[in-house]
Amino acid sequence: MTPKIARFLAQHQPATPCLVLDVDRVEDNFRTLRDALPLARIYYAVKANPAPQVLERLVGLSSYFDAASIEEVEFCLDAGAAPERISFGNTIKKVSAIRRAHAAGVTMFAFDCREELWKLAEHAPGARVYCRILVENEGADWPLSRKFGATIEGARELMVEAGERGLDPYGLSFHVGSQQTTTRAYEAAIGKVAMLFTDLTEAGINLRMMNMGGGFPTRYRDDVPEIDRFGNAIMMAMTEHFGNNLPEMVVEPGRFIVGDAGLVQAEVVLVSQRNRNNPLRWVYLDIGRFGGLAETEGESIKYRITTPHDGRKMGPVAIAGPTCDGADIMYEKSNYHLPLALTSGDRVELLSTGAYVTTYASTRFNGFAPLAEYYL
Ligand SMILES: *Cc1c(COP(=O)(O)O)cnc(C)c1O
């Protein structure tokens, strides 16, 4: 928790659940990543947290932006981003969205199949396009594989066709999965995609850009490697494959930029020891899977939780949300322990919830209001 957040919580005691995010930490994270990868352009993945305060700070730092929808494109424009600095990075786009983005001056688009390429050729003529390649997502706590990405053979044909259809075959991309905890995933993906890059260049295609996606991890319950390790691994792999002739490099971090900048404060609604012969207590919070903690699905992302009783005797817990849905359980198998003194009315903090929380909150399921947000 940053001092600014601690002061805000103490002074204001906001109604829970709420996200409180320190925008200075967003700036720190951006600078840290820029130092770790000075040759790469940073396209912030807007979906991680599209709050105007976050986008405006990043505009001030000369960030670029990766948008997944026309709405996110417009959030970036509203925050003051130049359209040439926005990449429409979703491979699944409505024609109406492509047309609007193109008209707004966005010139960079992703695709991973023939139909999307044809849509771009027709509705964003002349645009710089890059093909997303399917790569392994091993080592990622929140994988993104299967749903996206062309094969190497498919991408080779599509990039040739892109030029024939009047688009600018600009580059190739991959995404190693979110909360990626191994540098090996980037090295393997760079190796795979660099080979295609070289093949296409030799075939006369004027490729210039390698987009290495996001995935850089935030520290949750478990330690993760430092960002410098990822930066070094990426630069070593790029140099190994391209020598001194490096293409333009792009990264699309989301979680790394905003994850540890914010926390959720929540209230304990109920603590229930449901079986007298089992010490397990069920702790129900006023936020759950539908209130924004969607990444607890499969207990994938394991948030750290602090309570007013930390340091006192602990016992095993399952942690669930307040709704009437049986799927609204965050942690049952991940061996969470919380203080025995924990009781209803206590305020607890879920740390490093600045990414992928506000945007995943449902609107009125069971009548609960969406998550309140404070940006400091
Ligand atoms: C979600 C996403 C990102 C951001 O991923 P993080 O793991 O948050 O860094 C980047 N690029 C694409 C294409 C994405 O879908």
- Which numbered atom of ligand 1 lies nearest the CA of 214? 9
d(C-alpha 61, C-alpha 49), whole Å: 17
Task: Report the pLDDT averaged over residues 53-59.
Answer: 98
pLDDT at position 276:
92
**Assigned CATH for 260-375:** 2.40.37.10
pLDDT tens digit sequence for 152-210? 999 999 999 999 999 999 999 999 999 999 999 999 999 999 999 999 999 999 999 99
Tokens at 345, concatenated: 């009315």
Residue 48 near residue 30, CB atoms below 8 Å: no
Atom of ligand 1 nearest to the CA of 142: 7
**Mean pLDDT across 209-231:** 97
Sign of CA dihedral 73, 77, 83, 87: negative
| Average pLDDT of the chain to the nearest whole number | 97
**Tens digits of per-residue pLDDT, 161-174?**
999 999 999 999 99
Please report the pLDDT score of residue 1 as a whole number: 87
Answer whether residue 297 shows pLDDT above 80: yes
Residue 213 near ligand 1, beta carbon < 6 Å:
yes
User: Cβ neighbours of residue 174 under 8 Å, at least 6 residues apart?
Assistant: 132, 133, 134, 135, 149, 189, 192, 193, 211, 212, 213
Catalytic residue among 18, 76, 131, 324: 324
Contacts of 345 (CB under 8 A, 6+ apart): 267, 268
CA of 135 to the centre of ligand 1 (A): 14
What are the start and end residues of each CATH 2.40.37.10 domain in the chain? 260-375
Domain 50-253, what fold? TIM Barrel (3.20.20)
**Nearest atom (ligand 1) to Cα of 255:** 8
Residues of the chain with CATH 3.20.20.10: 50-253
pLDDT score for 49:
98
Q: Helix, strand or coil for residue 348?
A: strand
> Each residue of 314-367: pLDDT tens digit?
999 999 999 999 999 999 999 999 999 999 999 999 999 999 999 999 989 999
How far, in Å, from the CA of 283 to the mean position of ligand 1? 32
Question: Using a 6 Å cutoff on CB, does residue 224 contact ligand 1?
Answer: no
